[in-house]
């Protein structure tokens, strides 16, 4: 009797693995599933107790219908354009947004939360902009809940197909440096910058391994942007004429190199994993340093308000300085790109990193 049970278990395991191989072999991406920070938050923070929000004008003024959704942008995010490039909806809705249901999330969903970072759950120190936001580990818990809802909606077989063939996008890390390491002397006393980067890489590794264990196979790990060229950082670089903070950009490049190495290692270690590194650094740096070549006029300051310090609630519709045409600007607020920039970055990432999944 015991041997028959063992045989049955082996057969069921084989059938499960065979099913995964079949659905993985299908090239089409049926859904975009997103984790991360404000670069990919479509409005989850609207539903949590935090000031890190953008569900008010002028945010969203160029979104469909001019609606402020909670995206930290005048319009769409890079993930919205990526979804469209894969033949899916032209936007990826926030999981906590009550206006959407599982029928919407079945083809795209973001669990991202503005202000979060890789180590939010471990912070002794965090900026006021990060208080109350959704930590990365909680985003994964929401994903588990999503899996259950998806199975109830689609049925087990189709849900497995969707979850296995979906493209998973991770965009996170900037806050770990600008809102954490460089904002608090205590953190810099605790870690050297190299040790801190290794610590973050370890967290990224564990997150990807956990995500894979839950069924993800096609994963894009995003790199850091040239964070030293964000208007907020340039505004503080008075000694160098408000030029880019090269120290921050060098850190971003080194960290991106470590993430790339992690991608290479995990692809060798984990059978069936299709992990790619999506690097926005160089295309963004080119746009910032050669704005006119890409059709922009202003890259050193943002469109909203004075364009130097404002984001979130300080990016107010009442400001008399907000630009009238955001397509001329690389940045929307002091921290986030405009819709036009997001579109260019998305096109670059699709071409250089995600094309194998098309």
Give whole-number Cα distances, 34 to 99, 139, 197, 321, in Å. Answer: 18, 9, 23, 33
CA geometry: angle at 150 spanning 148 and 153, to 5°? 115
Task: State the Cα torsion 87-88-89-91 to the nearest 10°.
Answer: -100
Distance between the two ends of the chain, CA-based, in angstroms? 48
> Phi/psi of residue 16, each to 5°?
-65, -45
Q: Say how far apart CA 38 and CA 57 lie, in whole Å.
A: 17
Which of the following is catalytic: 97, 161, 176, 333?
A: 333
Q: Is 38 a catalytic residue?
A: yes
Which of the following is catalytic: 38, 171, 220, 278?
A: 38
Which of the following is catalytic: 39, 54, 336, 348?
A: 336
Q: Is 333 a catalytic residue?
A: yes
Residue ranges of the alpha helices (H) in the chain? 2-25, 78-85, 102-105, 136-154, 156-165, 174-176, 185-190, 193-213, 231-235, 246-269, 281-289, 339-349
DSSP assignment string, 136-162: HHHHHHHHHHHHHHHHHHH-HHHHHHH
Q: Say how far apart CA 273 and CA 84 lie, in whole Å.
A: 24
Cβ contact 110:94 at 8 Å: yes
Task: State the Cα torsion 14-20-25-26 to the nearest 10°.
Answer: 140
Query: Could you give the residue numbers annotated as active site?
Result: 38, 333, 336
């Amino acid at each position: 009797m015991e041997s028959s049970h063992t045989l049955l278990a082996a057969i069921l395991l084989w059938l499960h693995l065979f099913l995964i191989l079949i659905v993985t072999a299908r090239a089409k991406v049926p859904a975009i599933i997103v984790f991360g920070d404000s670069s990919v938050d479509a409005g989850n923070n609207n539903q949590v107790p935090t000031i890190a929000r953008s569900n008010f004008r002028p945010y969203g003024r160029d979104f469909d219908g001019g609606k402020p959704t909670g995206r930290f942008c005048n319009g769409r995010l890079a993930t919205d354009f990526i979804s469209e490039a894969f033949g899916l909806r032209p936007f990826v809705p926030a999981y906590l947004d009550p206006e959407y249901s599982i029928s919407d999330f079945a083809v795209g969903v973001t669990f991202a939360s503005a202000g979060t970072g890789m180590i939010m759950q471990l912070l002794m120190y965090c900026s006021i902009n990060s208080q109350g936001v959704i930590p990365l580990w909680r985003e994964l818990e929401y994903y588990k809940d999503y899996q259950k809802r998806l199975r109830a909606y689609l049925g087990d077989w189709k849900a497995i197909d969707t979850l296995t063939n979906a493209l998973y996008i991770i965009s996170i890390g900037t806050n770990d440096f600008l809102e954490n390491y460089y904002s608090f002397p205590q953190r810099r006393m605790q870690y050297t910058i190299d040790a801190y980067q290794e610590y973050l890489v370890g967290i990224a590794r564990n997150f990807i391994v956990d995500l894979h264990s839950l069924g993800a196979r096609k994963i894009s790990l995003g790199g850091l942007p040239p964070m030293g060229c964000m208007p907020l950082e340039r505004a503080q670089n008075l000694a160098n004429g408000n030029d880019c903070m090269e120290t921050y950009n060098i850190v971003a490049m080194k960290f991106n190199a470590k993430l790339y190495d992690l991608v290479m290692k995990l692809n060798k270690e984990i059978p069936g994993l299709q992990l790619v590194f999506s690097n926005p650094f160089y295309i963004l740096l080119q746009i910032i340093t050669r704005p006119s070549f890409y059709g922009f006029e202003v890259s050193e300051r943002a469109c909203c308000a004075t364009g130097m310090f404002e984001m979130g609630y300080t990016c107010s519709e009442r400001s008399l300085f907000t630009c009238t045409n955001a397509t001329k600007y690389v940045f929307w607020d002091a921290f986030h790109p405009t819709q036009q920039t997001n579109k260019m970055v998305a096109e670059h990432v699709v071409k250089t990193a995600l094309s194998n999944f098309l």
